[in-house]
Amino acid sequence: MEAELTALDTATVEAEWLRDLLMDLPIVEKPVPAILMNCDNQTVIIKVNSSKDNMKSSRHVKRRLKSVRKLRNSGVITLDYIQTARNLADPFTKGLSRNMIDNASKEMGLRPIAFLKELTFVSLTVGRSLWRFWVNLLGSLLKT
């Protein structure tokens, strides 16, 4: 539970910064809604949502818990449970099977490297064609 709470606390600090940034931008509608934080540990969610402070743990854990509670109570974040199998952050934190990595990559919108090579080839081809077009156009203008 301590590792998940530490990760959640770190993520909420980033979410608070992001929300403050959005508040400063004139093109974003106000008020900015709470940022949804998905957590796959039900114990952490229960502890954050509870108002009781009867946890027997170190002061560092209590400080993190208090920090997350404060942001939840002020409406900066909302906590939601997500099943571990559907957690998109898993590939960044632990070793997974090839199938699970492929599924998470698709959910995140990541593309295979072969796709990037094709895209680079297309952009290089278009770039060369445009370059030839401009050289020919400039050459014809200079001849006249």
Is 16 found in the same domain as 65?
yes
**83 and 139 share a domain?**
no
Residues 30 and 53 in one domain: yes
Residues 22 and 48 in one domain: yes
Determine the structural domain holding residue 120 and report its residue range. 112-144
Cβ-based neighbours of 18, under 8 Å, separated by 6 or more: 35
Q: Determine the Cα–Cα distance for residues 64 and 70; give it in Å rounded to an integer.
A: 10
Q: What is the pLDDT of residues 83-104, one digit of tens each?
A: 877 877 777 777 778 787 777 7
Do residues 88 and 46 share a domain?
yes
Render pLDDT for 21-36 as a digit per residue (tens, 0 to 9): 888 888 878 888 899 9
Percent of the chain with pLDDT over 70: 73
Same-domain check for residues 116 and 102 = no
Task: Say what the pLDDT of residue 126 is.
Answer: 52
- Judgement on whether residues 104 and 138 belong to the same structural domain of the protein: no
Query: How many domains are contained in the chain?
Result: 2
111 vs 131, residue with greater confidence: 111
Q: Are residues 131 and 95 in the same domain?
A: no
